[in-house]
Structure 1
Amino acid sequence: MNSSLPIWQIHPHVVEALCSGNRLALVAPTGSGKTTQVPQMLLDAGLAKEKKIAVLQPRRVAARTVAARVAWERGCRPGEEVGYQIRFDDRTSLGTRICYVTEGILLRWLQDDRTLSDVGVVLFDEFHERNLLSDVALALVKQLQRTRRPDLKMAVMSATLDPGPVAEYLEGTSSMPSTTLPAKNDRARSEPNPPGACPVLVSEGQSFPVEVRFLDHKDERPVTEQAADAVEWIVNAGEPGDILVFMPGMAEINATIGCIRAARLNERVAVLPLHGDLPSEDQDLAFEPNALRKVVVATNVAETSVTIDGIRHVVDSGVARVARYDAERGISTLFIEEISRASAEQRKGRAGRTAPGTCYRLWTQSGHLNRPERNTPEIQRSDLAEVVLLLHSLGIKRAAEFDWLDRPDPQAVERAEKLMQTLGALADLRYTNDDSRVGETHTPANRKSQIANTGNDLTPIGRQMLRLPLHPRYSRMLVEAAKRGCVPAAALCAALVSGRDLLMRLGRDDKHIAEARELFEASQESDFFTLMRAYQFARNCNFSVEQCRRYGIHAQTASQVEQTYQQILEIADKQGLVERRASSAAGENPQSETRNPKTTDDALLKCIMAGFIDQLCVRRSLGTLECDLTEGRHGALMRESVVQNASLFVAATIREVQSRASENLTLLGLATAVKREWIEETFPDQLAVAVEHLFDRTHKRVAAVKLVRFQDLVVHHEHQREVDPAASGRCLAEAHRKGYFELPLINHDVKQFIARVNLVGAALPELDFPPFDDAAVTECLARSFRGLTLVKEAQATHVRDEFLRHLAKEQIDWLDELAPQTVAWPDGRKLKLLYAENARDEDGQPNSPELQVKLHECFTLKEHPHICEGKLPVKLWLCAPDGKRLEATFNWPAFKASSYPKLKAILQKKYPGVGRL
C-alpha cells in the first residue's frame, strides 16, 4: 500500500460506505490513487470476505500495469494475491484476491457463472469513458445485485464523472448518510443525493497546479508536427520534467516520434511509444525510470493507467480514436474525433501529479469551448451486435427494454437483432410462419429447421459464436471455417477488413500503380483474394514502406493486419477451431490453404458469405453494375472490383458517396461471388420458394414464375408453363390498376355506374351499399380476367356483368331510383346527370351530381331537382345562350328571386334578342 496518496485521506468514508451499504460512487482526481489503493482498502477491511475483488479497467495496458504496481506494493508477484486477466493473457491463480480485468472478461465470467459466486466486490474504474461493455457490465451487475446476489458490493470510480446520474441509476438502499467529514490534508465533500440513492464521495485530492496553454490561432499542419514543435520548445526552453504526448493512434505515435527525432533538441531524450499493441516489455519502458528525460508518446491509454512518475508536461493533440458504427463495414470502427472537455481535463491532470506542470493544448481557447462537455456514451454510437448476442446468452431477450444507464437507440438494437438473426445466431420467428398468398405456393426450404427455432434465442451457431471474443461477423466466419477446414484463411480475411484499407485509393495519375497492382488480381471470385495477395507481398518484403508504395499498399496497415491475424488465429486456436496441421502451416503462409485446390477456394468463399450474408447483392443484369439488396435497397458494384462476372455476391463494404448531381450513390465493395446453392446449404431457414404471377410490361402478358427469395430479395427465378387461373386474373387486374394498360370497355357509362354506387353509399349509409373503391374494382376485374394471360384478351372482355354482381339484386333496383342517370325536365326532355368521381367533397359531405342547363330554359322549372330520396340537391350549372357557365346553384327558386335580377341587365346587353333572360 502507498498511504501517502491522497485517496487515503478519505479511507474511512470509503470503507464505511461499503460496510453500511453495497453501492458507492467515488470521484477522485487523476493520480490520487483510487485505482491502486481502493481495492487494497476493501480487501484489508474484509469487505470481499473470502471472495475476489474485480476491478474493471477500460484498457489492457492499464489492467496489466496497475496489477503489477499493486502486486509490488503488497510484496507479491502478478498472478498471486494480485493478478490480472485480459484477452490473450491470464495472470491469476486460485489465491488471487484482487483481479484487474477488462470489461469483456467480466462479461465472460458472467456467462460461465451467472451469479459471480467467487466475486465479492466489483469496482468500475475510469467509468467516465462510458465504454459500451462497461455500461453493459454495470447494468448486469446491478441486476444481479438486486436479484440473486444482494451481498455483492459495487463502486463506480472516476476522476471526471458526473456522479449524480450514476447514483440515481444505481438506486442504492444504503442507509448511510451521503455526507462525509473533511479529512486532514484533503478536502472531501459529498454530492447531494435524492433519498435512497447510493452514497457519493468526492475527493479533491492533492494535485499540483497545471498551467494550460492554448494555440493563439488554428494551425493547419498535421498534429504530429505541432506536437513535435511543442516538445522542442519545452526541451530547448530548459523546463525540467518528463513529457507526455497524447496522440490518437499507433500511426500518429510513430509519425510524432519521427518528427521529434528529426527536431533540433538541446539535450538527448528517450522517446518512448505507449499503446495497447506494444509488447508488455516495451510498454513497461514508459513507466520505468530513465537516465534521460523521457518523452512518452501515447494513446489515451495513458489517461487511465498507472501514473508515470516524473511527468511535468502534457502535450495534448486534442483528438482520439472513437468507436462508432460504420455503415460501410456494418461494424463499429474507430474514427478520429475531438475529445471532450472532460477528457482534456483528465489528460491535463497527468502533468500535476508530483509537481507543478504545464499542459499544451494544440487547439484554440475558443475551440475548447465548442467541444462537448463529456463523451457520448459508446452505447449510443456503436454497433450493438455483440452486446445483443451476449444479452441473449444471459436470457435477456429485449435489449432495448433492459435497465440501461443510458438507453441505446432502439433502431440500433433492432439492427443488431436482425443481423444476429440473419447470421443464424438467433432464431427468427419471421421465417417459421407460412404467409402464403391465395393461389400461390410458398415452400420453406427447410421446415424441420424452422420448427426447431421456436423462440428468439441463441442457436447452436450463436453459442459457438459467443465463445469467440470478436465481432459477430468475424466469429460467424470462423465458425463456418471450422466446419470447412479453412480457419487460418478466414482469420486472415477477418483481419483484412477489421482495420483501415490495405490498398491506397488511386487517382488518375496513378496508372503505373494500378498496372503493378494487377499482379494481385488473378482471381475474379473475390476481392479478398486480391487483398490476401497484396498482404502476402507486403509480408514477403518485410512490410517495406518503399516497396509497398510501388504497389499502392499501406505498409503500416499490412503490418497491423499481420498482428490482428495472429491474434484472431490465437483466439480460434484456444477454442479448438484450428487443426494442428493447419495452425502450423498458417504461420508460414496464411494463403497456402486457400489457393489450392479449387474446392478449398469455395470453402473460404462460403465463410466470407456467412459473415456478410445480410449484404447479399443481385446484379440486375451482367451488362450493368446496378444491384439489388434486401429491404428494397440498391447500389452499384465498384468498378475496380474483380468480381465483374458474378450475378450474385456479398459486399463486405457498403459506402454512400455523393455524385456530381448531388445524389447519394451506394457503392458496393470488397465483393465475393457466391452461389445460390451455397445459401441453400448455409442459410436454409431464410430462403423461401414461391410461384408468383408477374406482369411482363414489355410483352404485355402474365407469366408464372418460380421465385427463390433470400428474405425479401429474389436470388433466382424460373418461368413456369402452367398458370393459376385466379392468380393470372388478379395479376392482370393489378397491372391495370397500376396504369400499365387501358381498358376501353371501362367507358364513361361504367365509370358513372361506379360513381352512382359510391354516392348512394355516402349519402345513405343505412342502405349498406358496398363501396366501389380501387380494391373492389380490381377484384371485379380479377374475376372477369380469370384464366386470361394477355392484355389484348383483357381489353376484349366485357366487365359490366362483374361490376353489377358487386351489388345485391335489390340494390341494383334501388340505384336507378336513388341515383338516376337522368332527370325529367318540364319540357319533356330527359337531361343527363354527371356524377363526380369522388363521392365526397373537400368538406367530407356527399358530392352532388351536376346538371348543365341554359339559364333561359329554367324559367319553367318549379322545384329544384333532388336525388337520394330528396336528401341531395343537384348542382345546377346555369349557362349563357352560348353555353358558357355563369353560376351554380343548389336552389333554383332562391337564385331566381335573389341573384337573377342582378344578372338580367348584363345578360340582355350581351345577348340582345334572345328570349327571356
Structure 2
Amino acid sequence: GPGTCMRLWTEREHEQRPVQELPEVQRLDLSEVILSLKAAGVKDLKGFRWLEPPDDKRLHDAIELLTDLGGLDHKENITELGKQMLAFPLHPRYARMLLAAEKLGCVYQAALIAALTQGRDILIRKVDRATRELREEFLSERSVSDCFMLMRAWSYASKNNYQFQVCKKLGIHAQSARQVKPLLEHFLRIAKKEGLDVAPKTVDDEVIQKCILLGFSDRLAIRMDGGTLRCELVHGRRGVLARESVVHHANMFVAAEIREIGNREGEVQTILSLATEIEEAWLKDYYPDDFDTSIAVVWDPSSRRVYAASQETFRGLMLTAKRVDPPPEEPAARLLAEKITDEEIGLKHWDAKVEQWILRLNLLAEWCPEFELPAIDEDARRHLIESICMGAFSYKEIKERPVLPALKQWLNAAQREIVDKHAPERITLSNGKTPKVIYSKESAPCIALRIQELYEVKQLPKVALQKVAVAAQILAPNMRPVQITQDLESFWRDHYPSVKKELQRKYPKHAWR
C-alpha cells in the first residue's frame, strides 16, 4: 500500500510554503558569479543573458560587496586584487581574507575563522549559569573578538577529541565542532595550492583583527549609544549587537554573521554577531578613498533653527561630527525654504497679493508668449523662497522679511512694466472706477462691483493685448453676487430690468436707474 509521509513542520507552515523554491540566482549571494563575469569581460550585468535574471537588489548588493572587498573598482571593473581573489575556489569574502592573511602572516588563523563561520555555531547560545561561568573561565581571556572565543572553543574541543560530555561542560556543540576540522583542512589545502604559507604561527590579536576587517568591511558597525546594543552599519543599514557577544565595550566593530529575526508583530530585527573590535586608524590605512567629509545641515523643530555639523563618514556611516557655526548660507537657505514649502513654517508677507502677482505673470506669459516672460513654476518658486531666506538661519530671522520686492527681482524693469500694463492689478472703467482685478487659473480675470458702481459702463476692458476679456461680478447692495458676465451691454438690455425690479423692492433707499 501507499507509504506514510512525515512532515517535520506544522500544517499551518505547510500551507504557507511556496509551491516551489525560487531559483538560486534569486536567493543566493551572486558575488562569486559576478566576479567571474567581470573577469570574463561582461560589462552590462543587466543586459547579460541570464537563464533566470536576478533582481536589481541582488545585483546591487553583490556589486557593493565586491567593491567593498576591493575586487571591483567604483566603475564596476575588476581590479588586480579581484583577479587574485578569483584564483581561489571560495566565496570572494574568504578569498580576500586569505590574501590579506598571507601578507599579515596569519593564514592558518584566517582559514580557521573561515571554517568556523561556515556552518552551525559551535557555541550553544542558551546555557545555564554554571556553564556560562565555566565558559568565561576557560574561553574568555580576550574580549576583542567573538571569533577568538570560537577559536579557543574549537581548540578545546579538538584537544578533547570532541567528547560530548567534555564539550557540554562549556556549552560547546561537539558535532558542530567536529565538522569544523574538514572545513579547515579544505581551506588550508586551497591556500597551500595557491602558494600561501599555511603553517600555524603565533601572531598578535591585532593582526587577526585586521584580517577579519579586510574580509568583513562591508559589515562595519558603530554603536549608536552606550545604553543599548543598537548599531548603525555602512551603507545606511541598522542592526543590534547580539547579547552574547563579548565586545559590548567596543564602539566600532565588524560582524562576521548577520541574521534576521522576525517577531510576532511582523517586524524584522537584524542581529549582528561574531563581532570583532576595529580601530578607525585601520580603516584609514586600508580604505583611505572610502572616507568622505561633508557639512550637513539639520532642522531643529523645537528652536525652529538650522544647525550644521562637519561630518566624517566611511561608506555612508558617520564616524565623527563637529558643530559648524554659523552654518553655510546656501544649504541653510535651502533647508529653510524646504520647511516653508512643506508649510512647517511660513512667511508672514507671502500673502494673497504675492500669489496674485505670480498669477498675473504666469497667465500673461501664457496669453502672450511673444513677450517671452519667465513664468514662475515650482522650481522657480523654491529658488525665490531660497533667495528670501539667504543669510538667515532661523525662522525668527525670516518670518517678517518682505516678499513681493524680492519676487519682482525675478523680472527686469522692462518686464515688470509689461506685467503692470497688460495684466494690471487694477483696471479703469469708463465711469472712472478703478476696481481690483482678481486673476485665476480656472476662469477669466474678474472684477467685483455693486450694481450702482457699474452704471454708465457698457463695455468691460480687455487685458493681455486685448486678447482676454475681463468678467464682472455684479453685486447687490448687500455685496452678494447677482450675476457674472463679460457682456455688460447684454446684461443691461436683457437682465437688468428684472434684477432691478427684485432688488429695488428689497433695497428701496439705494439709487436705481
Q: TM-score range by the shorter chain?
A: 0.7 to 0.9
- Partner residue of 1:159? none
Of residues 170, 173, 179, the one that matches 1:560 is: 179
Which structure has more strand as a fraction of its residues? 1
In structure 2, the partner of 1:570 is 189
Matched, 1:761 2:381: no
The question of 1:427 aligning with 2:77 is answered: no
Q: Distance in 1 between matches of 2:132 and 2:474?
A: 79
Q: Within 5 A, what are the aligned runs for 1:689-728?
A: 689-691=293-295, 695=299, 700-703=304-307, 705-720=309-324, 726=330, 728=332
Query: What corresponds to 2:44 in structure 1?
Result: 398
Per-residue deviation, 1:425 = 0.7
SS at match of 1:649: strand
Does residue 862 of structure 1 match 2:458? yes
- Measured after TM superposition, the shift of residue 693 of structure 1 is 5.0
After superposition, residues 73-472 of structure 1 pair within 5 angstroms as: 214-215=2-3, 219-220=6-7, 378-409=24-55, 411-429=57-75, 456-472=76-92
Q: Distance in 2 between matches of 1:867 and 1:857?
A: 21
**Counterpart residue number, 2:421:** 817
Counterpart Cα distance in 2 of 1:850 and 1:622: 65
1:598-617 to structure 2, matched below 5 A, reads 600-617=204-221
Letter paired with 2:185: Q
**After alignment, is 545-554 or 881-890 more displaced?**
881-890
Instruction: Give the residue type in structure 1 aligned to 2:292.
Output: A
1:319-366 Cα shifts (integer Å, max 9, x gaps): xxxxxxxxxxxxxxxxxx99xxxxxxxxxxxxxxxxxxxxxxxxxxx9
User: In 1, distance between residues paired with 2:239 and 2:491?
Assistant: 64
Q: For each residue in 1:12-38, what CA deviation from the matched residue of structure 2 results, as whole angstroms up to 9, or x when unmatched?
A: xxxxxxxxxxxxxxxxxxxxxxxxxxx
- Do the aligned partners of residues 714 and 768 (structure 1) sit closer, same or farther apart at CA in structure 2, a change above 3 Å counting? farther
Q: How many Å separate the matches in 2 of 1:664 and 1:885?
A: 61
- 2:100–2:211 CA contact under 8 A, matched in 1: yes
Task: Give how far 1:913 is off.
Answer: 6.2
Instruction: Measure how far apart 1:762 and its partner are.
Output: 3.5
Assess if the C-alpha contact under 8 Å between 2:431 and 2:457 holds in 1.
no
- For the pair 1:580 / 2:210, whether they are aligned, the reply is no
User: Residue 572 of structure 1 aligns to a residue in which SS?
Assistant: helix
Is this contact kept in 1: 2:111–2:188, CA < 8 A? yes
Superposed displacement of residue 386, structure 1: 0.8
Cα distance, 1:693–1:222 mapped onto 2, change above 3 Å = closer
Separation (CA, whole Å) in 2 of partners of 1:483 and 1:477:
10
Question: 1:679 offset after TM fit, Å?
Answer: 1.9
Check 1:914–1:667 CA distance in 2 against 1; reply closer, same or farther (3 A cut). Answer: farther
Measured in 2, the distance between the counterparts of 1:659 and 1:909 equals 77
1:864 touches 1:893 (CA, 8 Å); kept in 2?
no
Instruction: Please give the alpha-carbon distance, in whole angstroms, between the structure 2 residues aligned to 1:903 and 1:498.
Output: 92
- Alpha-carbon deviation of 1:468? 1.8
- Which AA in structure 2 matches 1:412? R
**Residue segments in structure 2 that go unaligned for 5+ positions in a row:** none
Look up the equivalent residue of 1:803 and give its one-letter code. Answer: L
The structure-2 alpha-carbon separation of the partners of 1:579 and 1:547, relative to structure 1 and needing over 3 Å to count, comes to closer
Question: 2:290 matched to which residue of 1?
Answer: 686
Q: Secondary structure at the residue paired with 2:321?
A: strand
Q: Give the Cα separation in 2 of the matches to 1:639 and 1:872.
A: 74
Asked if the contact 1:648/1:715 (under 8 Å) is kept, the reply is no
Question: Structure 1: which 5+ residue stretches go unaligned?
Answer: 1-212, 224-336, 339-365, 430-455, 586-592, 594-599, 842-846
The one-letter code matched in structure 2 to 1:416 is A
CA contact (8 A) 1:788 1:794 kept: yes
Amino acid at match of 2:353: D
Q: Relative to structure 2, which stretch is displaced further, 630-639 or 471-480?
A: 630-639
State how far apart, in whole Å, the 2-side matches of 1:566 and 1:572 are.
Answer: 10
Distance verdict in 2 for CA 1:222–1:675, change over 3 Å: same
Displacement of 1:547 in angstroms is 5.2
CA RMSD of the aligned region, Å? 4.5
**Alpha-carbon contact 2:470-2:486 (below 8 Å) kept:** yes
Which residue number corresponds to residue 446 of structure 1?
none
- Letter of the 1:499 counterpart: G
SS at match of 1:580: coil
8 Å contact kept, 1:878–1:886: yes
Deviations 1:488-520 (A, max 9, x none): 3322322232223444454xx967766766565
Distance 1:664 1:835 in 2: 54
Quote the Cα distance in structure 2 between the aligned partners of 1:222 and 1:416: 32
Return the alpha-carbon distance in structure 1 between the equivalents of residues 400 and 46 of structure 2. 57
For residues 684 and 799 of structure 1, the distance between their equivalents in structure 2, rounded to whole angstroms, comes to 47
Residues 463, 470 of structure 2: 8 Å contact kept: yes
1:462 Cα deviation (Å)? Answer: 1.4
Q: Secondary structure at the match of 1:822?
A: coil
Letter in 1 for 2:67: Q
2:376 is matched with 772
CA distance 1:631–1:763, shift in 2 (3 Å): farther
Q: CA deviation at 1:567?
A: 1.9
Do the aligned partners of 1:737 and 1:774 also contact (CA within 8 Å) in 2?
no
Report the CA distance between 1:571 and its aligned residue.
2.0
Contact map agreement 1:877 1:888 (CA 8 A) in 2: yes
Post-superposition Cα deviations, 1:730-774, rounded to whole Å, max 9, x if no partner, equal 555455445564333434433433333333333333433223234
Cα distance in 1, alignment partners of residues 316 and 487 from structure 2: 58
Instruction: After TM superposition, give the deviation of residue 568 of structure 1 in Å.
Output: 1.6
DSSP 3-state at the match of 1:398 = coil
Aligned residues: 507
Secondary structure of 1:770 counterpart: coil
Counterpart residue identity of residue 715, structure 1: L
Distance 2:319 2:159 in 1: 40
Q: Following the alignment from structure 2 to structure 1, what is the Cα–Cα distance between the partners of residues 191 and 25?
A: 27
CA distance in 1: counterparts of 2:474 and 2:236, whole angstroms: 53
Aligned 8 A contact 2:460 2:471 in 1: no
Shift of 1:828: 5.0
**Partner in structure 2 of residue 498 of structure 1:** 118
Asked if 2 retains the 8 angstrom alpha-carbon contact of 1:692 and 1:707, the reply is yes
Q: Provide closer, same or farther for how the CA distance between residues 426 and 874 of structure 1 changes in structure 2, counting only shifts above 3 A.
A: same
What TM-score results when the alignment is normalised by the length of structure 1? Answer: 0.47
Equivalent residue of 1:543, what SS?
coil
Counterpart contact for 2:460–2:469, Cα < 8 Å: yes
Deviations 1:781-813 (A, max 9, x none): 544555544543344544544422211221111
Query: Structure 1 894/459 Cα, relative in aligned 2: closer, same or farther at 3 Å?
Result: farther
